[in-house]
Chains A and B, each alone.
Chain A
Amino acid sequence: MSEVWAKKTISELAPLLQKREISPVEVTMSVFDRVQKLNDSINAYISINNEEKVLEKAKKAEKEIVVGNYRGPLHGIPLALKDILYFKGETVTMGSKIHENFTPDFDATVVAKLKEAGSLFTGKLNMHEYAYGGTTNNPHFGPCRNPWNIDRIPGGSSGGSGAAVAADMTIASLGTDTAGSIRIPASICGIVGLKPTHGLVSKYGCFPLSWSLDHIGPMTKTVQDAAILLQAITGYDEKDATSVASSPANYVMSLTGDIKGKVIGIEEDFFFNMIDHEVDSLVKKGIRKLEDLGARIQLVKIPSLKFAEFAEYMTFMSESALIHQNNFNQRPEDFGEDVRQSLRMANNPTAIDYLQAQQIRRRLAKEFTMMFEQVDVLIAPTLPVIASVIGEESVFINGQECSQTETLIRLTSPANLVGIPSISIPAGFSKGLPVGMQIMGPAFSEKLIMNFAFAFEQTNPLKGLKPVIGELVK
């Protein structure tokens, strides 16, 4: 079976499926072939669904399309999602030993919506245990590897999603993001990752890490595919207390690429401080391309960003300590060493620490709101560095040794603290590894930031390059 279909995007496949020029069966077989060929090397999948059963569903989708019941652009598209989203009657592990046999009795809202849209599912994707880290060096299911260099991390915590999309082991995916866990692997794996506005996408049926910071969003090959997936998963959900009723939006139609007259904010003190020289240079080159397309640059200040890292740590440590307290107290040895160490630390914040973190979040929200009265979007590097070698705990930024965890989440976590949307888009390569550029906007400005990303994508920053398949196979 040809692997050609696995390499396509949703927006390329959907019209072919609708016109019956190809069948969902062919596309699904193509993806399974790719998974079977590459998963030993990449380890993007924690579990691969039974191929025969998925192909039966693909045949059913084909029949529906043939008789004219085409449901939309996800009908007959095989996807694989991060193994933290509940599927009724199927094992969902959260990348953990503790939940290795957990079988939810309901679908996550996003899963239900994708099933309703006609998507098929090839399996569940590797992740950092309980989404509690940025490397996807999973002690229970093995490390996930970066398709651009299998000695390197794919980022995390949605590392399996990043690697699988980059290596064409799924057509697209969903990840979750508490401090950057969609955008970090998107940046490191050279794909598109969108963290939507907090409340736009229901989190019902997603195992929490830190409820006030958690988000679910698309991880895709293109911006257009991110728009298609976002369209399918948004909407108010009474089962999620943080869900927000928002007006229906057509995200795909808003991708015109026209950004003339728009204003790009650049904040230098935080977002361009301590950045690898090559990453800095690539992102600034990307911003100049957007200027060439008619956008204007304005320097901005967000003074409370200097407290953002403290607020992120105190919030997610406190909330995650509550979520995991029973298992941590009763069976700490069943957590991987790094998560166990993080949970020990998570027991330490005081009520004052947590409340001060919330004060910082309120100050930041106010400052971001004021800033977005002057500019349309804020652009920054997604990460200060490129992918590090698997197992390394430190990274070097221009010769200076830094903590890997702190470095990975430093630039992405402010958008979680204030709940604004942020998209990571490939900006080029440094030392043969992808570099991402982050575009943030005001709450519910997904159309705007995706249009910026779409405009930039048209400049072909990755020059059409893909991971080299021969180097991926052991």
Chain B
Amino acid sequence: MSISIDQLLAVKGIKLSEQESKLLQLQWERILALKRDFDVVSHNPEDIILCYGAKGGNEHE
């Protein structure tokens, strides 16, 4: 499920004009395009681990 920027902001009581909404959508799409093909890049375990070792630190347990 995905919701629009307008909907996200509306939940917080922030309303956008049509022009502001269009501009935000354009900027957001441009930023998402910077991700390029990262979704299909293969990851090794270290790329996924973000400090979750049971004893603290980075070890993969």
Contact = CB atoms under 8 A, between A and B. Distances in A.
Interface in A300-345: 306-307, 309-310, 313-314, 329, 332, 341, 344-345
B5 A403 contact: no
B48 A359 contact: yes
B5 to A, nearest CB: 5
Contacts of B9: 344, 347
A363 interface: yes
Interface residues of B, number: 24
Given A356-B35, A359-B43, A348 B20 contact: no
B12 A329 contact: yes
A347 B12 contact: yes
A97 B27 CA distance: 26
A310 B34 contact: yes
A468 interface: no
B46 A362 contact: yes
A282 B16 CA distance: 44
A245 interface: no
A192 B31 CA distance: 31
Best-surrounded residue of B5, B20, B23, B35 (most CB of chain A within 10 A): B35
Contacts of B23: 341
B8 A355 contact: no
Nearest to A363: B47
Contact of A362 (B14, B24, B38, B47): B47
Best-surrounded residue of A314, A344, A345, A363 (most CB of chain B within 10 A): A344
Given A306-B36, A307-B36, A356-B38, A345 B47 contact: no
A360 interface: yes
Given A341-B20, A348-B28, A355 B50 contact: yes
Interface in B1-41: 5, 8-9, 12-14, 16, 20, 23-24, 27-28, 30-32, 34-36, 38
B28 A347 contact: no
A348 B30 CA distance: 13
Given A345-B27, A348-B5, A348-B8, A307 B16 contact: no
A307 to B, nearest CB: 5
A310 B47 contact: no
Contacts of A314: 31
Contacts of A344: 5, 9, 14, 16, 20, 24
A358 B51 CA distance: 11
B61 to A, nearest CB: 18
A329 B13 contact: yes
A341 B24 contact: yes
Interface of A: 306-307, 309-310, 313-314, 329, 332, 341, 344-345, 347-348, 355-356, 358-360, 362-363, 366, 403, 406
